[in-house]
Amino acid sequence: MNKKKYESKDVVSSYIKMTLQNPEVMILVKHRESIVNKHILDIGCGSGRTTAILKNLSSGYIGIDYSMTMIESCRERFKDVSFARGDVREMNEFDDGEFDFIMFSFNGLDSINHEDRLKGLREIRRVLKQDGLFVFSSHNRNHRYAISRPKMKFSAPPSKQAGNFIRFIKSTRNRLRNRNYQVFNEQYAIINDVAHNYAMLTYYIDKVNQVKQLEDTGFETIEMYDTPGNMLNLDSDDKDSAWIYYVARKKKLLTNYE
């Protein structure tokens, strides 16, 4: 849904400055045995935010991203590391059960529509080893600010106020263009949210429906975390968490996914 935005150089530059978030650190430490000296696939590697840590833990790290601009940024930053342009919906370049650990961080799965999301989850399951771990984050539909609209900010310095006005105009224009493409149903929502001045459409889902979605595509959810790093269960209050982190394990299915 948002490929053009992720190809832009300003977005790539902003991602370079990002570091691991608290839940990601906790998950990597807790599940270290499933990662160290294992084969890792880093989907949506962006400009290498997760590469620095994962490549040093792994005996076989591969980073893929749908944005070629992001991949080129990674190749400039990390030499002798394997990167390729890739599409989670069709990862034919990888064999069945090739990876021990797969990470799709920073809500990357939320940038595609519902049908493609399910297709991507099934592809991830295919290339993951039996009982391998899949870690990802997804926007939380229960978040108190999931639905918003552009607001004018006011600042004392005239130069800063001019920037606020420009952002407000840009956000309002993007909002008017994108709001009619939103989707709301019982299972999920696709929302034109505040990200990048309302320029994008983003997939939102609550914990209950995400756990069911994982189960339906061949995974067992074993842990969930909010953005500060607190472990959650299905009944936990998560209204202050913009997204949720999930740790899932590939499970044996009776259906013909293998």
- In the chain, % of residues over pLDDT 70: 91
Give residues with Cβ within 8 angstroms of 7, minimum separation 6.
67, 68, 69
Q: Please report whether residue 147 resides in a domain.
A: no
10, pLDDT greater than 60: no
Based on the structure, what is the number of domains in the chain? 1
Residue whose token pair is 């270290």: 32
Give residues with Cβ within 8 angstroms of 236, minimum separation 6.
207, 224, 226, 230
Q: Please report whether residue 118 resides in a domain.
A: yes
Q: Can you tell me the mean pLDDT for 198-226?
A: 97
CA distance 145 to 39: 37
CATH of the domain at 109: 3.40.50.150
Q: Please report whether residue 158 resides in a domain.
A: no
Q: Are 243 and 137 in contact (CB under 8 A)?
A: yes
What pLDDT is recorded for position 255? 53
CA distance 247 to 201: 25
Q: Please report whether residue 242 resides in a domain.
A: yes
What pLDDT is recorded for position 248? 98
Q: Please report whether residue 38 resides in a domain.
A: yes
CA distance 106 to 198: 18
What dihedral angle (degrees, nearest 10) is formed by the CA atoms of 121, 126, 132, 138?
A: -10
Q: Please report whether residue 195 resides in a domain.
A: no
52, pLDDT greater than 50: yes
Q: Please report whether residue 177 resides in a domain.
A: no
Q: Please report whether residue 256 resides in a domain.
A: no
Tokens of 37: 């000296």
Q: Can you tell me the mean pLDDT for 217-243?
A: 97
User: pLDDT for 170-210, tens place per residue?
Assistant: 999 999 999 999 999 999 999 999 999 999 999 999 999 99
User: pLDDT for 131-172, tens place per residue?
Assistant: 999 999 999 999 999 999 999 999 888 888 999 999 999 999
Residue range(s) defining the domain that contains residue 124: 3-139+206-250
